[in-house]
Amino acid sequence: PSFFKGTSFTHISVLEKKESTDEEEDPKLEFEAKYVELNPLGEGGCGSVFNGYRKSDKLVVAIKHIPNENIYCTNFDESGRELSVEVAVMLKLQSGTSNSAGSKAPITLLDWYVLPHELILVLERPMPASDLHSYIERRGGSLKESEAKIILKQLVEAAINLQDEKIFHRDIKLENILIEMFSGAPRVRIIDFGLSCFTETNSNHNTFYGTDCHVPPEWLFRYQYSAGPTTVWQLGIVLFDCLHNKRFNSSSFIRRKIKINNRLSKDCKDFLKQCFTRDPKDRPTLEQIHLHPCLLALPLTSGFFYRHHSFRHKFS
């Protein structure tokens, strides 16, 4: 489960967008006029998600209900509006090169509605797709290295793009990664920005938001963590969970109760060891793991990514 922990936590639950007394502008009525909500799809630490569709064109959507008490952080935009960070982050990601649904790894926010006691998000729902945990389970509990590397390379590129936008997801894990199979090859989509934040490079955070068994060592030992090194640690966890028939736990790994499978390829074992470097100062950056031999031989996965990034090779 996801949780928050720390020493300096302030909960802001009142959003700037106020309930209207005019029935025609009532956000719940606006939502119901535009969308049909169907069966539940799942429930997480921050809210519940339902299947649905847009009435105008029958577009399949995911509808997320977040109680106000689960909106842990808010952010003020340039016009002074107070938004939940999840909304602010997704709006930021949709600005720029293309805001069409499905054009980037993060799921697209289509609409949002602020009600008196909850926030409703209407999100793109890729079809067919499943979360990475279910995807692995249907394949016997682990993936072949070749497929895991294809997924991870896309995930690393998506994480670099988030970093470029100064966005820290904070909870990258199997359940927050969708695998879209429309083209026949796995395509990574990232969901659930409910614990995300805007951050600066090398900024330290002293309130932990995320999944307790995935905390980086620097949080366990110093109660501080930063975006880049933590994301690299989490990407290592994703690859570990893809390739091992057991789930990763940071504390168990640090105590050597969980080990990397020695049957993996040399490059793959080295990639995991690099991601799991205990000292965040020595852990490679996202750009560096993108150029690790484990991923370097794979085909290009994103034309947009390669037009906007060029890196130096670190590994030999």
Enzyme catalytic residues: 171
Sign of CA dihedral 269, 273, 276, 280: negative
User: Cα torsion at 130, 134, 139, 144 (round to 10°)?
Assistant: 80
Work out the number of other CB atoms within 10 angstroms of the CB of residue 230. Answer: 24
184 is in an annotated binding site: no
45 is in an annotated binding site: yes
Q: Read off the DSSP letter of residue 186.
A: -
> Looking up tokens 């309930």, which residue turns up?
19
* Separation of alpha carbons 301 and 203, rounded Å: 30
Helical segments of the chain, H only: 27-34, 85-94, 132-137, 145-164, 217-222, 227-243, 250-254, 266-275, 286-290, 293-296, 303-308
57 within 8 A of 129, measured Cβ to Cβ: no
64 is in an annotated binding site: yes
41 is in an annotated binding site: yes
* Separation of alpha carbons 230 and 215, rounded Å: 8
42 is in an annotated binding site: yes
47 is in an annotated binding site: yes
188 is in an annotated binding site: no
245 within 8 A of 264, measured Cβ to Cβ: no
46 is in an annotated binding site: yes
Q: Residues at the annotated binding site for ATP?
A: 41-49, 64, 124, 131
